[in-house]
Structure 1
Amino acid sequence: MDVLWRGVDSRGESLEHLRLGASRARGTVIGRAGAGVFTLGYVVEIDPDGHPRLTTLRVVDGPTLQLRRSWDGGWSDDHGRPLPELTGCTDVDIQATPFTNTLPLRRLNLPVGAGAVVLAAWVGVPELGVRAVPQRYTRLAEHTYRYENLESGYAVEITVDAQGLVTRYPGAFERVGPGQQS
């Protein structure tokens, strides 16, 4: 499936092409951050249970980052060094894409009215700094969720399609192309 999103954040517009398969997501984001522009390529390999197993990010002419989640929830970098600051993280949240909201939404499969807290390895773009951030998802309606960053207090209602892919993320992203089977 191919998906296109447009970033509508006034601090940095972007355009993303995502190619989503059963166990892998591959995205390219071209965007603006401050006075500069960036191109980010990322791949998220997804376990059968819906957790990210391996996340690889590369900014053209910039940093790279690889995060590996083990079966027991531990995290390590591309050299196998443990990342204890990410202990307890169940998800990865890449700042430049709404795709990473899909993984916890699908895995949690919340009934309307229910909510859950996840700990995500949040990756800033374009610098690719990473830290653990607690987040809450509450299902408000069949295709509407309230997302809350419990660290900053930021909250927004996002709309998703039947596959859990964001169609509208007010102030941040909007879907500009329907999903196409590839």
Structure 2
Amino acid sequence: MTGQSTQRPTQRPGDRAAQPPTQRAVRPQGGQPTPQRGGPTRTGSARLRLARPQAGWVLLGLPLFGALVDEVSGAPLGTVFAVCSVLASAWAALLVTRRGLWWVLPSPPLVIAGIAFLDQLLLHSSDFAGTKLGTGLLKWSVELFPAMFFALLAALAAPALRRVLTHRAAVRATARAAADRDAQVPVPRRSHHG
């Protein structure tokens, strides 16, 4: 066809970006634009990201739960508090990225000390009255040291363990793929011509 230009009309840079994703047109090869149906799809990873608890809530929530269970059972800040603190530290370290470890790693001892201080202040203030303050603080810090130590150790070990397990899984997957490729031997085709 003579006299007609085969070039597409030029589009200004802001026109396409201004359209919402549901109204953008897809241009098939040599045809008219067809609008896309539906909005942007949500992937499984986006849903998973929304369902994951934030590390800060885990760091505070589990030890608080452990302290509550210990107080209700009559053992002020005992085994349940220590176990919950260690689990919270490991879980929080797994939830954050490598860049986020800067605040998760030093947090477990501070969280444990803060929760224990509030617990002692609100529920056991008579143990710290008068001359008992020094001995009460010393006893309290000695009793909490193992929980702080193991919580910090768990926060350090959890990302390293995840890295090792991820590396092993990748090596196994590579080995399986190589074995599958080697097992697929091409079978020669038989000729029907005699």
TM-score range, shorter chain: under 0.3
**Larger Rg belongs to:** 2
Choose between structure 1 and 2: higher helix proportion: 2
Choose between structure 1 and 2: higher strand proportion: 1
TM-score, length basis structure 1: 0.26
TM-score, length basis structure 2: 0.25
